Structure 1
Amino acid sequence: MILEVAILKVRPELVATFVPTFKQASAIISSMKGYIKHELQRCLEQEGQYILLVWWETLEDHEIGFRQSEQYQQWRKLLHHYYDPFPVVEHYERIEL
């Protein structure tokens, strides 16, 4: 299992519409092969900052299956104009302790 992590900095003038739009976009990502679950969390210290956590079965499910899909183009149209700067996306794997 892979965890995708992105810190999202939303343009101040768009904060009011971001969460409703993200809820709409959630239907897109949750329909993808390899998708497990996702969370969007709001930062308490930085207004307009969120963290997106998405669990995927494999890295390829995200990087190829989602990002190279027609559905990703819909996701991009809904959400990418909200971000400044554009988020860095990183992937993590769990370490068993």
Structure 2
Amino acid sequence: MILEIAMLEVKPGMEEQFEVDFKIANTYISAINGYVKHSLQKCIEQKNKYSLLVEWDTLENHIVDFRQSSEYLKWKKLLHHYYDPFPTVEHFEKVFESKKSDTIE
């Protein structure tokens, strides 16, 4: 499993419309081979800052299957004009995970 993390800075004043359009763009990314799930998180301290977390089966599912698809062109047309600066996107592999039920009491 690969976790894609994108830090998104939306142009001030465009946050509400960005969130509406992001929900529309949901259909584009979720149709891609190897897509698992995604979430959009809004920063509490900076109202125009978001993090996009996307889980993929493989790195290629993101950088080839999605980024070279017609769905990505629709995603790009709908969302990319909101960003300033353009987002930083990185990919991560899980090293360790713990949850409350794993702790010894």
Within a 5 Å distance, the mapping from 1:30-69 to structure 2 comes to 30-69=30-69
Distance 2:73 2:64 in 1: 13
Q: Which of the two has higher C-alpha Rg? A: 2
TM-score, scaled relative to structure 2: 0.89
Consecutive unaligned residues of structure 2, counting only runs of 5 or more, are 98-105
Consecutive unaligned residues of structure 1, counting only runs of 5 or more, are none
State the Cα deviation string for residues 42-66 of structure 1 (Å, max 9, x = none): 0000111000000000000000000
Matching residue of 1:84: 84
Matching residue of 2:94: 94
State the Cα deviation string for residues 12-55 of structure 1 (Å, max 9, x = none): 13112011100000111011100000000000001110000000
| Identity between Structure 1 and Structure 2 (%) | 55
Q: List, as ranges, runs of 4+ consecutive aligned residues in structure 1 with deviation greater than 2 Å.
A: none
Alignment length, in residue pairs?
97
What is the root-mean-square deviation in Å for CA atoms of aligned residues?
Answer: 0.9
